[in-house]
């Protein structure tokens, strides 16, 4: 899981540049490093035993480094998101709607899965204050029904909020 976090962070940082060849090469390098690690860890075992112990078939993919419930993500499965240029005639003081839509679209391109659905349901706005959120700024997931009290990790129960708004909300709840 630690390696997945590192890979995800690196790929998210570099996904806006032409890095698909680099991503494919990194998958190859990771495989080589993991293979060397596995052989070093089990010096008395043969290659077949090592490969069946650490690499499995997941779905229609072969040679996935995984355990029973976790798998190493592929670097080259990260989508490349191109930078969209700002219109030359756009003025941030006069065209607020254009820049707000641009922020929303940027969030839609950068997020995936349930986080993208949450972003879309909220139109890129903070649940507490209603102000636009930027996908690059700090944000938290707010649970309508807390997970400690019968809340589930479901899109209908999750909302994006600014970290500052969440802090203020929590302080006000403690005062009551």
Question: In the prediction, which pLDDT does 169 show?
Answer: 87
Question: What pLDDT sits at residue 33?
Answer: 94
Q: Give pLDDT, residue 153.
A: 82
Upper half-sphere CA count for residue 136 (Cβ side, 13 Å): 5
CA separation, residue 73 to residues 7, 12, 18, 27 (Å): 8, 13, 20, 9
pLDDT digits (tens, 9 = 90+) for 89-119: 888 888 888 888 888 887 777 777 888 888 8
SS (H, E, C) 133-149: CCCCCCEEEEECCCCCC
Whole-angstrom distance, CA of residue 108 vs CA of residue 115:
9
Rounded distance between C-alpha atoms, residue 2 and residue 12, angstroms: 15
What does the chain come to in residues?
176
Paired tokens of 86:
């700002």
Which residue intervals of 42-162 are DSSP H helices?
47-54, 96-110, 113-121
Reported as a single tens digit per residue, the pLDDT across 32-88 is 999 999 999 999 999 999 999 999 998 888 888 988 888 898 888 877 777 778 888
Tell me how far apart the alpha carbons of residues 28 and 137 are, in angstroms, rounded to a whole number.
33
72 CB-near residues (< 8 Å, 6+ apart): 3, 4, 7, 30, 34, 64, 65, 66
Model pTM above 0.85: no
Give the whole-number percent of the chain exceeding pLDDT 90: 19
């Amino acid at each position: 899981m630690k390696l997945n976090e590192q890979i995800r962070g690196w790929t998210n940082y570099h996904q806006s540049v032409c890095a698909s060849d680099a991503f494919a090469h990194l998958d190859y390098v990771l495989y080589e490093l993991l293979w060397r690690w596995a052989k070093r860890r089990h010096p008395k075992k043969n290659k077949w035993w090592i490969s069946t112990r650490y690499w499995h078939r997941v779905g229609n993919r072969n040679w996935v480094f995984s355990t029973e419930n976790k798998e190493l993500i592929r670097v080259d499965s990260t989508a490349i998101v191109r930078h969209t240029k700002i219109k030359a005639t756009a003025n941030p003081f006069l065209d607020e709607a254009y820049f707000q839509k641009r922020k929303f679209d940027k969030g839609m391109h950068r997020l995936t899965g349930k986080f993208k659905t949450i972003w879309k349901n909220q139109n890129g706005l903070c649940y507490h204050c209603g102000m636009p959120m930027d996908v690059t700024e700090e944000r938290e997931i707010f649970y309508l029904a807390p997970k400690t009290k019968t809340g589930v990790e479901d899109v209908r129960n999750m909302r994006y909020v600014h970290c500052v708004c969440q802090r203020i909300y929590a302080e006000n709840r403690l005062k009551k």
